[in-house]
Amino acid sequence: MHLPHPASDPLRAVIIGAGSRGNKVFAELMATHDTGFLVAGVVEPDAGRREAFASRYAVPAARTFTTLEAFLAAERFADIVFICTPDRTHFAICREVSTHGYRIMLEKPAATSLAECLELLETQRRTGTEIFVAHGLRYAPFFQQVKAIIASETLGRIRHVHLTENVGHWHFAHSYVRGQWRRRDESAPIVLTKTSHDLDVLQWLVDQRVVSVTSHGSLTYFRPENAPSGATDRCVDCPLQESCLYSATRFYLDERPEWPYDVVLGGGPDSREARQHAIATGPYGRCVWHSDNDVCDSQLVLLEYASGIFASFEMHAHTAENTRKLRVLFDHGELYGDVRRGTLWISRFTGQKDQVDVEQVPLPDL
């Protein structure tokens, strides 16, 4: 996709889906940074979210829509569409928008099956639509620096890459045990909903054709048989709520306005009473051992490339930190990095060691 130069007229963007990613990431960036984009419209079925979005970004009523069909039937006023809806809707919305000539920024995953991905590719070839999938790790300064080191071949060629995503125990419980990505049949496997970013950045770093993929994953901890004695189905009436690490009453009632604490409200007005009602009745108040989740809390992936080298990837829920850690082995040295710290350590086989501190840019959770 050809992005606008800051000095040129901004691209007029319509946000489809005014949830956390559409509202508080993409639209917020457009409104507060010189991105080359202008918030021009919104498609959102929830009246509260739609009206709050329109007020926040000064979107006129004529450019707010409850359905995709209403937006596509209206007189054209935008250049690009940002698809920020639930995962299982991405394919159908992208396919439909593709036939109307808009550029598309598509949140990951692009689709939830191979057949859908192939159909999107065919639609793109047929219509010529520019479709960009939002794999943002490629553009983070940390991975840009790693890519530059690889391209320089100062350490020789890559022999192995290992990437670990430490999701963080609290984040996993919030999004993948209680949240909207907890079930494969309602969303997709976690390897798509969470770690597609990691698989994308591995492919980008290695830049070779993959010839085989092996993957194993399991859900071992957030299961009923692991619930502490006395735990109830909901945190609000659980005798362990004051001491439990995953207590919803302790986690969500702090009245902190930012993600992930605001998600429990579902886009509605914030108050302690609203949060109490949400955890008493909604999914975010469930005991983490008595939810209906089925996505893996640990996953391993092994990629073999055409040259014979391998890349390995691990995703773990049971970590203290929410970060990614990277190790790249070369002919003449190795590189180790921690994304959260923004630091790369380079060890050459000659004994020389270097540390590179990378610019840290605040990013939404990816």
Other beta carbons less than 10 A from residue 303's beta carbon: 21
Q: What is the largest CA-CA distance in the chain?
A: 66
Mean pLDDT computed over 282-289: 96
pLDDT band at 259 (very low <50, low <70, confident <90, very high): confident
Q: Does the structure show a pLDDT above 90 at 1? A: no
Per-residue pLDDT for 260 more than 90? no
Inform me whether the pLDDT recorded for 7 exceeds 70: no
Q: Are 170 and 318 in contact (CB under 8 A)?
A: no
Q: How confident is the model over 325-362, as pLDDT tens digits? A: 999 999 999 999 999 999 999 999 999 999 999 976 65
- The pLDDT of residue 366 is 61
Which pLDDT band holds residue 154 (cuts at 50, 70, 90)?
very high
The share of the chain scoring above pLDDT 70, in percent, equals 95
pLDDT in tens, 97-136: 999 999 999 999 999 999 999 999 999 999 999 999 999 8
pLDDT at residue 207 greater than cutoff 70: yes
Query: Where does residue 280 rank: exposed (0-12), middle (13-18), buried (19+ CB within 10 A)?
Result: middle
> What pLDDT digit, counting tens, does each position of 300-314 carry?
999 999 999 999 999
pTM score, whole prediction = 0.89
| Domains, the chain, with CATH or none | 11-134 (3.40.50.720), 138-222+293-357 (3.30.360.10), 230-285 (no CATH)
Q: What pLDDT, on a 0 to 100 scale, did the predictor assign at position 255?
A: 64
Edge-first strand listing for the sheet containing 310-316: 210-218, 298-305, 310-316, 158-166, 323-330, 333-338, 343-348, 353-357
Please report the pLDDT score of residue 265 as a whole number.
Answer: 79
* Mean of the per-residue pLDDT values of the chain: 93
> Where would I find the H helices in the chain?
20-21, 28-32, 47-56, 68-73, 90-98, 114-127, 141-152, 169-172, 190-193, 196-206, 248-252, 272-281
pLDDT in tens, 155-171: 999 999 999 999 999 99
pLDDT surpassing 80 at residue 254? no
pLDDT band at 253 (very low <50, low <70, confident <90, very high): confident
